[in-house]
Amino acid sequence: MSTKAYAALSATDSLAPFSLTRREPLAKDVVIEILYCGVCHSDLHQARNEWHNTVFPCVPGHEIVGRVSRVGAEVTKFKEGDLAAVGCLVDSCGTCPNCHEGYEQYCENGQTFTYNSPDPVGSGHTFGGYSEQIVVTEDFVLRVPENLDPAAVAPLLCAGITTYSPLRHWKVGQGKKVGIVGLGGLGHMGLKFAHSFGAHTVLFTTSPHKREDALRLGADEVVLSKDASEMQRHANSFDFILDAVSAEHDINAYLNLLKRDGTLTLVGAPEQPLPVAAFNLIFKRRQFAGSLIGGIAETQEMLDYCGTHGITSDVEMIAIQQVNEAYERLLCSDVKYRFVIDMASLRNG
């Protein structure tokens, strides 16, 4: 199926109109007409080959919400007209222990990402959501609560699950003191979830002007991380800290805030390794961990939770023709808090 898209043809090219071919739906496939696609910072990294693994042409986008337009003969979970979503994964081996346990994101034989992955069904590599439509096996398609704004749901497919999963895994809830480092696309969702789960939630930021927004989004306290006295006041007191910063920063400053047996989990992806002082872990039996998105079942759980509790992302809508400008603004943190592309601009452009 011929499909309009926007793609980067090289690491130095701006995103531009592109035509790709989607496969005709197989028996278990769902065809989704894409209505909205979130803009993730990883889209920028991949389009500019900053992780040194991009295959060009690159069509980014893994925060996808749309309407089902066709289904294969053996599809049972979806029908034409359903609101549906696709996140960061479109396939996995299905046979390894991690896949059997619902952790497809940790597939031992190689998960298939929504874009820039070898395509296990066709030839070449996968193309993402900056496009008119996408074809995905039904086991990797998600249901969207009808009571939520579908445009504001789109970032939940990456920013949402990336923060929801570690907060759930480390049992964040009432009686816990939780820190969120950074108030960006990831951080603002982590703040919303931690608050909703009932934790005493502290937002760490380098920007004083973000205090008001942080309190609006659910922070009980806001700490300026550049203020040594403010940081010291919270030493040895946190059960859990979620670090959503992708820039270089002092991880030891936050490890020192954990109480004994506390955990700091990294979901941001700094380009350079972060030095960790061994004694900051050893003397309090602290844990320094990481987390990658979530499995399909947990992502559906997250969407259902958001539907029940009325949680969505704070978004700024753009046309596809503005995506290069949005990338430059993203580099300056000039968005509150996630760009979402109205894909009607691609169909009508």
Q: Which residues contact 40 (CB under 8 A, 6 or more apart)?
A: 60, 62, 63, 155, 158, 159, 185
Residues 95 and 142 in one domain: yes
Pairing of strands 112-113, 200-205: unpaired
Name the residue range of residue 164's domain: 160-290
Contact 280, 258 (CB under 8 A): no
Same-domain pairing of 48 and 123: yes
CA distance 302 to 182: 21
CATH number for the domain spanning 179: value is 3.40.50.720
Q: Are residues 300 and 151 part of one domain? A: yes
The whole-number pLDDT of residue 272 equals 85
Q: What is the pLDDT of residue 349?
A: 78
Q: Are residues 13 and 111 in the same domain?
A: yes
CATH of the domain at 38: 3.90.180.10
Quick one: 191 and 325 in the same domain? no
* Residues 221-232: tens digit of each pLDDT: 999 999 999 999
What Å distances lie between residue 342 and 75, 87, 161, 231, 347, CA to CA?
A: 28, 17, 21, 41, 10
Tell me: do 47 and 144 sit in the same domain. Answer: yes
pLDDT tens per residue across all 349 residues of the chain: 999 999 999 999 999 999 999 999 999 999 999 999 999 999 999 999 998 999 999 999 999 999 999 999 999 999 999 999 999 999 999 999 999 999 999 999 999 999 999 998 877 999 999 999 999 999 999 999 999 999 999 999 999 999 999 999 999 999 999 999 999 999 999 999 999 999 999 999 999 999 999 999 999 999 999 999 999 999 999 999 999 998 899 999 999 999 999 999 999 988 788 999 999 999 999 999 999 999 999 999 999 999 999 999 999 999 999 999 999 999 998 999 999 999 999 999 7
Query: Which pLDDT belongs to residue 123?
Result: 78
Q: How many domains does the chain have?
A: 2
Residue 168 shares a structural domain with residue 260: yes
Mapping DSSP onto H, E and C, the string for the chain reads CEEEEEEECCCCCCCEEEEEECCCCCCCEEEEEEEEEECCHHHHHHHCCCCCCCCCCECCCCCEEEEEEEECCCCCCCCCCCEEEECCEEECCCCCHHHHCCCHHHCCCCCEECCCCECCCCCCECCCCCECEEEEEHHHCEECCCCCCHHHHHHHHCHHHHHHHHHHHCCCCCCCEEEEECCCHHHHHHHHHHHHCCCEEEEEECCHHHHHHHHHHCCCEEEECCCHHHHHHCCCCEEEEEECCCCCCCHHHHHCCEEEEEEEEECCCCCCCCCCCHHHHHCCCCEEEECCCCCHHHHHHHHHHHHHHCCCCCEEEEEHHHHHHHHHHHHCCCCCCEEEEECHHHHHC
| pLDDT of res. 56 | 97
Digit-coded pLDDT (tens) for 174-217: 999 999 999 999 999 999 999 999 999 999 999 999 999 999 99
Q: Which of 273, 290, 307 is the last residue of a domain?
A: 290
